[in-house]
Amino acid sequence: MAGESVSFRITRTTEDLAQTVAALSQRLVKLEQRLGSLELQLDQVSSPELADPDQLLRLDHVASLLADCRSLLEEPAAFVNPHEDEALAA
């Protein structure tokens, strides 16, 4: 019976991880689209002096969020539940 409990927790954790990865992937796609849109808008500005400072800050923020999402998706260890080892040991 203990084996079934561990198996259930592993399955549940795997499902949670899959949902997290899917959500992050969707967020990454949206951020990439937004970044592309902002870059296009910036390209339409003829000189850097005419660029809206707020728009540049938003672009930097989007680029930072995009980098964070990419790093999370590239590091599977980032999704490990710190309490998982405790649950498996029980």
According to the model, what pLDDT value does residue 40 have? 84
Radius of gyration of the chain (CA): 20
Task: Report residue 7 CA to chain centroid gap.
Answer: 27
- Every domain of the chain and the residues it spans: 2-89
According to the model, what pLDDT value does residue 39 have? 83
Q: Which pLDDT tens digit goes with each residue over 4-36?
A: 777 777 788 888 888 988 999 999 999 999 998
Task: Please answer whether residues 79 and 14 qualify as being in contact, where contact means their C-beta atoms are separated by less than 8 angstroms.
Answer: no
Q: Give the count of beta carbons closer than 10 Å to the beta carbon of residue 31.
A: 19
According to the model, what pLDDT value does residue 76 have? 65
Sign of CA dihedral 23, 70, 39, 47: positive
According to the model, what pLDDT value does residue 42 have? 77
Q: Which pLDDT tens digit goes with each residue over 46-77?
A: 555 556 778 778 888 888 888 888 888 887 65
pTM for this predicted structure: 0.47
